[in-house]
Structure 1
């Protein structure tokens, strides 16, 4: 069961990214370079991305809770898993609380659009923080030494791309220049995070499988 929970963390980003990528290719009314991923929730086929958000949130939540249980059993910090749980809830709720169409004037912004923006802001802010938190607490796990270094790299990359994305959307002069690339810039932040989640979950899944196989071997044969 523990292995299955870890697999949820492997498949969550794979399904999520594959879904919005295929939608971006197939939908004629959508430009993945210019438009946010959440814009896929709008229109006739918007329900597909809404379901995609919800499914990703559920799978990431299952993975995060399994990490929380592992942390409780080993009496280690629960900070990382808790942040992942918060992130999963933000993605889950981003489904039903869909964004407003791009270019909506401030007077016409809806409550669900405002909530979607807040949820997205929290999720994106947590992405580099989660990497740095896990990097710090991986120092006591010798079998994650190499991946710990990669976690630091992912954290730095996500931080830099998040800064670029934030400046490009919040600073008016940059917004005018990069307005046609906001979808691309958003993906520059999101994709490294998704890759990190997938790799980390796969690392833990592989370790749990090895542990399970080792426990099946009789004690008198383990030294042979």
Structure 2
């Protein structure tokens, strides 16, 4: 595999998460009945334009698998060389799975769904809904572990401490928001309203964290590769 191909694979990872965020937020603005402070981000997979977010997740995951190959080519040895690209590949596969297994309509979205309907609280979750949330768990588990794997590597590189600090911060904050908050609020969610509000707000916070790190890792590797080639 040529250096040019490896660079293209890394660019896939640097661009895909940011493009995914852009598509996600633009689509959210023009969704009738969608409330970002009430509805989970995955809810946009349902409804008339659900195909757009399904494609968004699948394409992003596919490009991140390509990026994992590029990372493996760039890091043949050293800290994070083994588990870093593997975790990015897991992240990509799980992202594809979140698109293939569509979540259930809930909390008034898409329009026509009962406003008090929350799977797991007052409605039965479908088999594909179960698999969707399992895949989501894998996405954020891979995110957390990959952040620490790359933070450990970047911390030992010249000029990499700021990158490492951000990755470590993300690795702590993302699961703390998503799972820590859920454990606190779930006992209060008899009607589903508390949990719904948390789910919407947490999604606005966690998704950028979960996507931006995935762009920063290949971006850092592209910069270090360019610097090495310039001095060679």
The interval holding the TM-score normalised by the smaller chain is 0.7 to 0.9
Instruction: Please give the root-mean-square deviation of Cα atoms over the aligned residues, in Å.
Output: 2.3
CA–CA distance in 1 between the matches of 2:69 and 2:181?
A: 30
Q: 1:74 aligns with which of 77, 84, 88?
A: 77
**Paired residue for 1:197?**
214
Give the alignment's TM-score, normalised by structure 2.
0.81
Larger radius of gyration: 1
2:188 aligned with 1:173: yes
User: Structure 1 stretch 195-204 or stretch 25-34: which is displaced more?
Assistant: 195-204
1:165–1:54 CA distance, 2 compared to 1 (3 A): farther
Distance (whole Å) between structure 1 residues aligned to residue 218 and residue 51 of structure 2 = 28
| Residues in 1 aligned to 2:179 and 2:130: alpha-carbon distance in whole angstroms | 21
Moved over 6 A (4+): none
Question: How do 1:127-206 and structure 2 match up within 5 A?
Answer: 127-167=143-183, 171-173=186-188, 176-206=193-223
Task: Give the Cα–Cα distance (whole angstroms) in 1 for the partners of residues 184 and 39 of structure 2.
Answer: 13
Deviation at 1:143? 4.2
What is the total number of aligned residue pairs between the two structures?
Answer: 213
**Residue of 90, 98, 123 corresponding to 1:86:** 90
Query: Are 1:97 and 1:112, in contact at CA under 8 Å, matched by a contact in 2?
Result: yes
Q: CA offset at residue 111 of structure 1?
A: 1.8
Q: TM-score, normalised on structure 1?
A: 0.84
Distance 1:182 1:168, change over 3 A: farther
Q: Counterparts of 2:105 and 2:184 in 1: how far apart (Å)?
A: 19
The answer to which of 55-64 and 1-10 deviates more is: 1-10
